[in-house]
Amino acid sequence: MKDCKSYSVAPPLADIALRNIWNLDMALDVNTRTETVELLSREADCLKHKLEEERKKLNDVTLANVAERLEEVTFLNIKPRRLLKGNQAKMLCCDWSPDKRHIVSSSQDGKLLIWDAFTTTKEQTVTMPTTWVMACAYSPSGNLVACGGLDNKVTVFNISNPEEDPSAKKKTVGTHTNFMSCCLFPNSDQQILTGSGDATAALWDVESGQMLQSFHGHTGDIMSIDLSPSEIGNTFISGSCDKMLLLWDMRTGQSVQSFEGHLSDINSVKYHPSGDAVASGSDDSTCRMYDLRADKEVAVYSKESILFGVNSIDFSVSGRILFGGYTDYTINAWDSLKCERVSLLYGHENRVTSIKLSPDGTALASASWDASLRVCIFADLIIQILQLFNRYNFSHILTNIHFKIALT
């Protein structure tokens, strides 16, 4: 009986002792983990500080200082030549066709229009099932256009035959969980890249509608994307309402570089034609340029008199001029190296929402909330080319539509 009593009392005491030991081990383990995390955090902060110090050592000169020895950009002779009106509401986006003659525009009225920039006529009209068609883009072949907006979808239309109704050949390629803000075809008609208000970007296969890759990293709406100008084109840049620019590897879906500096939403991003830098436009009324190799901001384009946000940007073919469309109804042209404004374009009667340089760099299209699309040409550049062609008796091959626009 004594043995039985001892046995009956011992297990509860042993259990209590074991629990106490286990709780003590857990407490020690938690404390150890906390100390380890704090130690690693301090070490990471120290490394960041050292990297920043090393970066500052190399930052001994500004882009503007380096560009002082360069000649100044003379007054840009930019002539307004065409006014395209047909939408019944705010124009939100535009894009040039590879043929340098046609322009696609999207609008708040739910219409997608195909324009002839020379005759100013609407060649095709596509009615979307939703208003606020926020994005549109031509494919590299010029046979397809993609668009999307508050319907959360990216839809592709075949416009190769002007006699046929494009709506009969529409194809819904992919769907986001929030509005689709931007899209582009990455070097072929087979794939399309989109950005969305759900803070993600996605690469889709046009034929199957399958998502090939998704890109997660932003914490705010993605408002703009742009593809690297390299022939391979495996990277793209995105700008978001989280005030960040992220550089993505399309093959892995990972962000490989990030840039910050803006104080408000980023509305537009664009690669420099060299592919070594990217520019951005923001609601903080500034444009900025970041060098990918130096991994830092190298230029800010702003003036105290500019109080309104930048909605869209684009580079000239050489990259020397950066154009920005602003909420104050104007388009500013900046010397990208000297960080100085070299021209100011008026004409629109409401905010400029989208600007696009033609593929050959001789014309600039701008869309606005005033429901109009305007086309300006760089008169001096075209005149120089005309003189060169005439000098060598090449005038018979002048088929570029912008030469014709310049002469009429």
Helix (H) or strand (E) holding 132: none
- CA dist 70 → 65, 90, 380 (Å): 10, 41, 20
Sign for the CA dihedral angle at 195, 375, 143, 107 comes to positive
Closest CA to 151 of 194, 114, 119: 194
**Mean pLDDT throughout 390-404?**
53
Alpha-carbon gap, residue 373 to 325, rounded angstroms: 13
Least confident of 95-104, 191-200, 268-277, 388-397: 388-397
CB 127 within 8 A of CB 167: yes
DSSP 163-220: TS-GGGG-EEEEE-SS-EEEEE--SSSSEEEEEETTSEEEEEETTT--EEEEEE--SS
Residue 155: partners with Cβ closer than 8 Å, 6 or more residues away: 128, 146, 147, 148, 170, 171, 172, 173
Query: Tokens in use for 197?
Result: 């208000």
CB 125 within 8 A of CB 162: no
Letter for the amino acid at 163? E
- CA dist 314 → 126, 156, 324 (Å): 26, 24, 7
> Cα torsion at 317, 346, 268, 59 (round to 10°)?
70
Residues in the chain: 408
DSSP, collapsed to helix, strand or coil, labels residue 71 as coil
Alpha-carbon gap, residue 278 to 359, rounded angstroms: 18
Alpha-carbon gap, residue 94 to 153, rounded angstroms: 18
Please give, one letter per residue, the 3-state secondary structure of 328-371: CCCEEEEECCCCEEEEEECCCCCCEEEEEECCCCCEEEEEECCC
Residue 124 pLDDT exceeds 50: yes
Letter for the amino acid at 402? H
Burial of 291 by CB count in 10 Å (0-12 exposed, 13-18 middle, 19+ buried)?
middle
Maximum Cα–Cα distance for the chain, whole Å? 123
Q: pLDDT, tens digit, for every residue of 125-154?
A: 998 878 889 999 999 999 999 999 999 999
Q: pLDDT, tens digit, for every residue of 289-315?
A: 999 988 889 999 999 999 999 999 999
The one-character DSSP state at 244 is -
Query: Tokens in use for 308?
Result: 């309104």
Report the predicted TM-score, pTM, of the whole model to 2 decimal places: 0.82
Which pLDDT score is estimated for 405?
Answer: 52
Residue 407 pLDDT exceeds 80: no
Alpha-carbon gap, residue 207 to 179, rounded angstroms: 22
Percent of the chain with pLDDT over 70: 83
> Cα torsion at 300, 302, 303, 309 (round to 10°)?
-160
Which pLDDT score is estimated for 103?
Answer: 96
- Provide the pLDDT confidence category of residue 66 given band limits of 50, 70 and 90: confident
Q: pLDDT, tens digit, for every residue of 172-222?
A: 999 999 999 999 999 899 999 999 999 999 999 999 999 999 999 999 999
Sign for the CA dihedral angle at 82, 83, 87, 91 comes to positive
